[in-house]
Chain A
Amino acid sequence: MAQTIHIEPVTRIEGHAKITIELDDAGKVSDAKFHVVEFRGFEKFCEGRTYPEMPGITMRICGICPISHMIASAKACDAITGVRIPKAAEKLRRLINHAQYVQSHALSFFHLSAPDLLLGMESDPAARNVIGLIQANPDLARKAVRLRQFGQEIIRMLGTKSVHPPWAVPGGVRDGLKEENIEWIRKRLPEEMDTTELAIKLLLDSYGGFSREIEVYGNFPSLFVGLVTPEGGLEFYDGLLRVMDADGKLLEKGLANEKWRDIIAEAVEPWSYLKFPYFKPFGYRIGNGDIPGLYRVGPLARVNICDFAGTPKADRELRNFRRLGKEGKPVWSSFHTHYARLIEILFSLEKIGELIEDPAIMNGHLRSQAGVNNDMGVGIMEAPRGTLFHEYQVDETGVLKKVNLLVATGNNNLAMNKTILQIARSYMDGASITEGLCNRVEHGIRLYDPCLSCSTHAVGQMPMVLQLVDSKGNLVDQKVRG
């Protein structure tokens, strides 16, 4: 008889989740599902509020990527007012966003994933955690803490608080940098650059021991989506939407942000609160087969789709990274997201260095003033986990009529499910779950660094259905909520 195995909760990711691995009559894995059951209601909650409040409200969605929500929201508000923000404000928003990349990617790599990489995926679970890691390599752990602190400190300088700074506003930002801030950043940059390069070396040195993981941790053809500069460079703050297929062909070279709905649609499944976005022109599902519109966002997608990074060290690593793709194609294996993430830290550190040496960043004109000039505003930016969309509709007084948030974790939902299935099929041995399998499935999910408290924010739309189905497809039991 077919069996369903549940693994919950998935530790070391934000929020809560349940995974279902379904076995067929022969005991082989037939399907895997990543259920998101945590419930957030920010989209509904925001209706009736005024648009200038949105950067402050939406940053409360998450304690790890509040800056991303603040910036995407401020950009959507800029679009409602129709103003171009002052140059200094744009540079400062870019600076705080790069600082966010440093702290967020450092948390993901050093504190979440490194225990598996450095201590081994099959090692004693009691030791395979961050305490085990800091005991095994305290020097690296100290550097990692300081790298994350570096990003947090820049955020604190600009926004007063490192979490939820009320700083980016429609039309610009509230405050600028001080000379002493620039001096502090300048002094710390070399140390943080060294730490990142050391991490890259450690990661690449460990690759020999992970050849099987590289083959089966999300190693499949998919589309890749993200922003690039108008010239095709790596871009985190603004730019054009690019879509690349698994062979490296550009399906969209550079789409204007407000046309995002032309290429992305969202499907709903009854077993998860998290929506399933897909590339609209390719469709969602053909029968029970694969999903042609499946795409990935985030570090792997960004470094795949860009033509170049635009900074010396990141470009050097990018050239090395490209060699991981087979026959000149994009890099498919999500395991390489670790490397992509470290390249992005390097890129952000170099960009921070560029920005603080730009005299224009010290200009005191930081905010353009305007009221409601458009009834719709779209703000798209690259959050550390991937492309983040904020779309607001307002009435003539600026009160929000509708809010749509499409977050990075949602964008990667299909890819995460496929990754879990691939890992389960490769490592499932018999009808029991080993500690190793559990950890591999979790590691597969963490490659996407999902932030589930960000991603489930719809309310009153999707019933939650729990089903037990036998091998013949008969419904044995069902529970419906909502």
Chain B
Amino acid sequence: MIVIIAYGNTLRRDDGAGVFLGGMLRGALKKNGREVNLIEVHQLTPELSIPIAEEGVSSVVFVDTRVAEEGKDNFDLRVTAVSTQGGRSGCGHHLDPASVMAYARVLYGKWPPAWLLTVPGVDFQHGEGFSAFTQQALSRLPHLLASLPREWPDKEGPVS
């Protein structure tokens, strides 16, 4: 079972793209016969460690929007491995993926492979719908998945 945790504010334009991309990723993985549990949230909180620690969870994919700046970002989807050793701060109203994984590791002794998939965002104003940059990046999900090892996200491999 792959747990996808997609988060963001769906009324702040590109900030909601992570939630949208989470749905796309679930569709793509299920199409390949993978079992998926999609969790959509506004932000990351400690109790998300509970579904991560459930029996049979083989990997976790956090899906979020990243703030992209021209000249500093390639405006493409990006996958990075998530540490289970705890992240920055870790005490806010929201956590980062590494802190959620640290909860699962320390409290429940579970640390399946975890990944952060991000989509670039440039418009965080009030409203729905995505900027052209973000839409273009979203359309590249099939290309990204094709470039990843076949066993991803359950097994580690070379990723962007």
Cβ of B91: which chain A residues have Cβ within 8 Å of it? Answer: 11-12, 111-112, 115, 129-130
Shortest Cβ distance from B40 into A: residue: A161
Kindly identify, within residues 120 to 153 of chain A, every residue whose CB is under 8 Å from any CB belonging to chain B.
129-131, 134-135, 138, 141-142, 144-146, 148-149, 152
With both chains docked as a complex, state the minimum distance between the C-beta of B51 and any C-beta of chain A, in angstroms: 10
* Residues of B93-126 contacting chain A, CB below 8 A: 93-94, 99, 102-103, 106-108, 125-126
- Expressed in whole angstroms, the minimum distance between the Cβ of B62 and any Cβ of chain A is 15
Known: A57-B11, A145-B49. A13 touches B93 (CB 8 A): yes
Give A190 Cβ to nearest chain B Cβ, in Å.
19
Q: Which of A111, A112, A152 has the most CB of B within 10 A?
A: A111
Q: Is the CB of A145 within 8 A of B92?
A: no
Contact partner, B11, options A12, A60, A130, A144, Cβ 8 Å = A60
Asked whether, in the complex, the Cβ of A131 is within 8 Å of the Cβ of B50, the reply is no
Among A107, A130, A135, A164, residue most surrounded by chain B Cβ atoms (within 10 Å): A130
Q: Most chain-A Cβ atoms within 10 A of its Cβ — which of B12, B45, B50, B99?
A: B45
Q: Which residues of B contact A149 (CB under 8 A)?
A: 47, 50
Complex contact B90–A63 (CB within 8 A): no
| Residue among B46, B91, B92, B102 having the largest count of chain A Cβ atoms under 10 Å | B91
A411 on interface, CB distance cutoff 8 Å: no
B89 at interface by CB-CB < 8 Å: yes
Q: Identify the closest chain B residue to A144 (Cβ).
A: B46
Please report the C-alpha to C-alpha distance between residue A451 and residue B42 in the assembled complex, in whole angstroms. Answer: 14
With A111-B46, A112-B92 as known contacts, state yes or no: A134 contacts B9, CB within 8 Å. no
The CA of A138 and the CA of B53, in the complex, are separated in Å by: 15
Whether, in the assembled complex, B10 has its beta carbon less than 8 Å from a beta carbon of chain A, the answer is yes
User: Which of B12, B43, B107, B108 neighbours the largest number of chain A CB atoms within 10 Å of its CB?
Assistant: B107
Residue B41 at the A interface, CB < 8 A? yes
Q: Assess whether B42 is in contact with A145, with CB atoms less than 8 Å apart.
A: no
Q: Does B129 sit at the interface, judged by CB under 8 A? A: no
Q: Which of chain A's residues has its CB closest to B125's CB?
A: A41
Chain A nearest CB: distance from B3 CB in Å? 15
- Distance of A103 from chain B, by nearest CB (Å): 8
Q: Is the CB of B43 within 8 A of A142?
A: no
The answer to whether B102 touches A42 (Cβ under 8 A) is no
Majority SS at the chain A contact face? helix
Q: Indicate with 1 or 0, residue by residue over B15-54, a CB within 8 angstroms of chain A CB atoms.
A: 0000000000000000000000000111101110110000
Complex contacts, A134 vs chain B, CB 8 Å: 102-103, 106-107
Partner of A163, one of B41, B90, B103: B41
Task: Tell me if B90 and A131 are in contact (CB < 8 A).
Answer: yes
Report B66-102 residues with CB < 8 Å from chain A CB: 86, 89-94, 99, 102
- A459 CB to closest chain B CB, in angstroms? 9
Is A14 on the interface with B (CB-CB < 8 A)? yes
A169 to B97, CA, bound (A): 34
Chain B residue at smallest Cβ distance from A58: B11
**Residue A162 lies at the interface, judged by CB distance under 8 Å to chain B:** yes
Inter-chain CA distance A111–B11, complex, in Å, is 27
B89: chain A residues at CB < 8 Å are 11-12, 129
* Minimal beta-carbon separation of A361 from chain B (angstroms): 25
Q: Which of B10, B47, B90, B93 contacts A64 (CB 8 A)?
A: B93
Q: Of A57, A63, A107, which one neighbours B41 at CB under 8 angstroms?
A: A63
Choose among B43, B50, B86, B93 the residue with the greatest number of A CB atoms under 10 Å from its CB.
Answer: B93
Q: In angstroms, how far is the closest chain A Cβ from the Cβ of B52?
A: 11
Q: Mark A302-318, 1 if CB is under 8 A from B, else 0.
A: 00000000000000000
Which residues of the other chain, B, contact A148 by a CB distance below 8 angstroms?
Answer: 45-47
For residues 390 through 413 of chain A, which have their beta carbon under 8 Å from a beta carbon of chain B? none
CB nearest to B9 among chain A residues: A60
Which residue from B12, B93, B102 sits with its C-beta under 8 Å from A451? Answer: B93
Q: How far is the CA of A453 from the CA of B99 in the complex (A)?
A: 21
Contact with B92, one of A14, A57, A164 (Cβ below 8 angstroms)? A14
CB pair A141 B47 closer than 8 Å: no
> Given the interface contacts A42-B126, A148-B46, does A162 sit within 8 Å of B93 by beta carbon?
no
Contact of B106 among A107, A131, A144 (CB under 8 A): A131
Contacts A63-B93, A129-B90 given; does A107 touch B126 at CB 8 Å: no
Return chain B residues, CB-CB under 8 Å to A115. Answer: 91
A170 at the A/B interface (Cβ < 8 Å)? no
The verdict on A66 contacting chain B, using a C-beta distance below 8 Å, is yes
Q: Indicate whether A13 sits within 8 Å of B11 (C-beta atoms), given known contacts A131-B86, A134-B103.
A: no
B45 to chain A, nearest CB (A): 7
A249 to B43, CA, bound (A): 42
CA distance A63 to B93 in the complex (A): 9
B20 CB, nearest partner CB in chain A, Å: 15
Candidates B45, B90, B99; contact of A107 at CB < 8 Å: B45
Contacts of B46 in A (CB 8 A): 107, 111, 130, 144-145, 148
Whether B47 lies near A130 (C-beta < 8 A) is: no
- Give the docked Cα–Cα distance between A162 and B42 (Å): 9
The 7 closest A-B CB pairs, nearest first, are A63-B42, A131-B86, A14-B93, A149-B47, A12-B91, A60-B11, A163-B42
Give chain B's interface residues, CB within 8 Å of chain A.
9-12, 40-43, 45-47, 49-50, 86, 89-94, 99, 102-103, 106-108, 125-126
Listed by A's residue number, 28 A-B pairs whose Cβ atoms lie within 8 Å are A11-B89, A14-B94, A41-B125, A60-B11, A63-B41, A63-B43, A64-B93, A107-B45, A107-B46, A112-B91, A129-B86, A129-B91, A130-B90, A131-B90, A131-B99, A131-B102, A134-B107, A141-B106, A142-B108, A145-B47, A145-B103, A145-B107, A148-B45, A148-B47, A161-B40, A163-B42, A163-B43, A451-B93
